Structure 1
Amino acid sequence: MPIYSWPLRVYKVSSDLLRLPNVRESPFYVGLGNGRIRCTLCHRQCALSNGQAGLCRMRLNIDGKLYTTTYGLLTAAESRPMEIKPLYHYYPRTSALTISTWGCNFPCAWCQNWHLSKFASIDGVYVPPEKLIEWAIENGDSGINISFNEPTLLTEYAIDVFKLARARGLHASINTNGYLTPQAIKALFDAGMDGMNADIKGGHETYRQWLAADLNKLMNTLEYAIKLGIHLELTYLVIPGINDDEADEVINAVAKLGRDVPLHITAYYPAHKLNNSPTPTKLIEDIWRRARKELDYVYVGNIPGHPGQHTYCPRCGTILIKRFEDRVIDVKLVGYKCPRCGYEIKIRGYIGRYGNLYRRFI
């Protein structure tokens, strides 16, 4: 039977929260009358009466207005390489100051960062947008990334941060379950976000049974992101007994977005409330080989040293970018082209240098 794991709220909803610097009115809602409102940030479209919180537990109806409790409320801030996101074709060999808050709008029982996503709290460190940019520049990071828990929860803060990041020449990206509405994606894009790794957690049945969600809504958002010009990569965590029989459905869905959309096929290890067996390497390799027939850029994750970590020329097969675990260790590109056959490789941004990796600010 499916296991649902929604965030646990550990604070009381009241107007007293309005005194906190992290509690801000959100523009992502519409009124429904009689003090009720609908949140329009994600496809959940939570309808809230006064005093209610959304399924993410971090968005509230207080006196007929929608408030976020997460503006600048950070639970982590750490410099990380883009390759660990994974974003292999987005500013390779650079690092981003990576931040998170509390809560999530998905009930994944296998969450790797459950200690952040499965709790809704008002505890944490309030960091003004200007301070975050200062940290990134001081550390030698090339960008800002929102990850660990679901970045949808930080949208209002991200908009302000990304505007400042763009003004200082920093790239801006998110790691997301992709369930944002087109309105939210457009707002983030207009602020400066141009990179995104989204989970594709399986086929229609996994979304329906395990996530109480709709795969079609995810795909519509991803199509819109590509239309805007956002660089997109996808991650498929293969979980035995849950979504491993939907690999072909996942591959076909990604191929419809574009043959050049990178897909990361990642091995699962037991976490949170799910104790299924780890994904066999043979299964990952089988899906990797099948996917490479339909897609130009397919990668293997969570198996250190696997040849599926490298970028190969789609035309002649030459290794163009070598990686080990979360680092780029060699680049053979000449002006983003294969030195052997001249094929141009899809890459957003420049190939740079890492900042002071894994330095923690929070």
Structure 2
Amino acid sequence: MRAIYSWPTRTYEVGPELLVLPNVRESPLGRALGGGRVQCALCHRRCTLSPGQAGLCGMRFNINSRLYTAAYGLLTAVESRPMEIKPLYHYYPRTSALTISTWGCTFPCAWCQNWHLSKISSLTGEYVQPEKLIEWALENGDSGINISFNEPTLLTEYALDVFKLARERGLHASINTNGYLTPEALEALHRAGMDGMNSDIKGGRETYRYWLAADFDKLMQTLRRAVQLGIHLEVTYLVIPGVNDQEADEVINAVASLGRDVPLHITAYYPAHKLNNPPTPTELIEEIWRRAKKELDYVYVGNVPGHPGQHTYCPRCGAPLIKRFEDRVVDVKLNGYKCPRCGYEIKIRGYVGRYGNIHRRFI
């Protein structure tokens, strides 16, 4: 099958007149190369930009030999959403996070389900100051801030300010990412307060090379660094027939190399954006789920409503401990963080809480 690439379409021109906009800020992730060129260190593509040139993501550019972002506080969505929908099953379960997005992406996925945000690079949207975002989260009863929908690292400069404020006010900070951010960007976000992330693993080495023009080993470099830093990591594998379904064992082994207790979400694909491959058969999802459970303690099934693979079971005795239906926790049977039947300690970051006013939209 011939690969399809879908990069963001930029809807604006790069020029010094952009510097007056509140959402245009200089980035600390730029490195001068001489001759007016700068290199962006946000993602592993490390775009080298001449004056007036934008990166592949469409939201970062070179003006006057300096790297700028157009995404600082420029939001396309602000909505309270449960942690389970992200999915982050072991990170502040049964709570909600104020979830935000901007434009653009660092990957050309043809199957993107949020293509209306990720495949456009624009200066439209609503500028929201970091303090206002924190006020909204606290007012709504959310437990934290999450960046999702498009690639969250496009908001890195904004996140550095937001996450610091969130930590000061007792809110957690997390992202849902394609995982292709550099160790420099990851470490900066961690220092600011980010301690949770769900990263895609979109397949094995061949999928990354052929479909994404990317390097699987660089993805794994970042995920290993996240584990070393103590960031709570969960991984999502969207199984796409005809694209990455033959690489399941490679994906399982890669996740297991990060730690047996790293949760893996095996998710069914439905046609979206530019890819019209058939939906993933439930039988294939279940087959991969069974194989993964031999190597990992916490394996989940996604996009198959009502499946028992949505629940958390004790890795030692198999007792059902957290039951879910779609994007909600419906029952919790834990003694603190331990299995009430055998005493095994279950991996959970944060606390089991109460949802805020979920799905409330602020913009």
TM-score w.r.t. the length of structure 2 is 0.99
Name the structure 1 match of 2:277. 276
Q: How does 1:36-51 map to 2 (within 5 A)?
A: 36-51=37-52
Q: CA deviation at 1:335?
A: 1.1
SS at match of 2:55: coil
- For residues 17-64 of structure 1, the C-alpha deviation after alignment (integer angstroms, 9 at most, x for no partner) is 001000000010111111001001110100000000000010000010
State the partner residue of 1:335.
Answer: 336
- Given residue 293 of structure 1, which amino acid in structure 2 is its aligned partner? K
Match of 1:141, as an amino acid?
D
Counterpart code for 1:30: R
State the 1:7 CA deviation.
0.1
Deviation for aligned residue 1:337:
0.5
> What does residue 111 of structure 1 align with?
112
Q: How does 1:45-194 map to 2 (within 5 A)?
A: 45-194=46-195
**In structure 2, distance between residues paired with 1:139 and 1:296:** 34
- 1:181-215 CA deviation, whole Å, 9 max, x = no partner? 11111110000000000000000000000000001
Give the letter aligned to residue 120 of structure 1: S
Partner in structure 2 of residue 345 of structure 1: 346
Q: Name the amino acid aligned to 1:62.
A: I
Task: Give distance in 2, aligned partners of 1:334 and 1:20.
Answer: 52
Report what 2:288 is aligned to: 287
Distance in 2 between residues matched to 1:62 and 1:189, nearest whole Å: 28
Structure-1 separation of matches of 2:345 and 2:155: 35
Q: What is the letter of the counterpart of residue 300 of structure 1?
A: V
Task: Tell me, in whole angstroms, the C-alpha distance in 1 between the residues paired with 2:219 and 2:95.
Answer: 28
The question of 1:7 aligning with 2:22 is answered no
TM-score, normalising length: structure 1: 1.00
Deviation of 1:118 after TM superposition, in Å, equals 0.1
In structure 2, C-alpha distance between the alignment counterparts of 1:191 and 1:36, rounded to whole Å: 28
Shift of 1:334: 0.2
Deviations 1:106-128 (CA, angstroms, capped at 9, x unpaired): 00000000000000000000000
Distance 1:29 1:60 in 2: 10
Matched with 2:252 is 251
Aligned counterparts of 2:143 and 2:252: Cα–Cα separation in 1? 32
CA distance in 1, matches of 2:122, 2:185: 23
Give the Å deviation of 1:102.
0.2
Give distance in 2, aligned partners of 1:51 and 1:11. Answer: 12
Q: Aligned letter for 1:80?
A: R
C-alpha distance in structure 2 between counterparts of 1:93 and 1:134, whole Å: 21
User: Counterpart of 2:220 in 1: which secondary structure?
Assistant: helix
Aligned equivalent of 2:326: 325
Query: For 2:143 and 2:76, how far apart are their aligned partners in 1?
Result: 21
Q: Unaligned stretches of 5+ in structure 2?
A: none
Q: Secondary structure at the match of 2:197?
A: strand
Partner SS state of residue 275, structure 2? coil
Q: Letter of the aligned partner of 1:343 in structure 2?
A: Y
Identity of aligned residues (%): 81
Unaligned ranges ≥5, structure 1: none
Residue type of the alignment partner of 1:224: R
Output the CA distance in 2 between the equivalents of 1:24 and 1:31.
Answer: 16
Q: Which residue in the other structure is 1:302 paired with?
A: 303
Counterpart of 2:202 in structure 1 is: 201
The total of aligned residue pairs comes to 362
Q: 1:284-311 CA distances to partner (integer Å, 9 max, x unpaired)? A: 0000000000000000000110000000
- Give CA-to-partner distance per residue, 1:66-122, whole Å, 9 cap, x none: 000000000000000000000000000000000000000000000000000000000
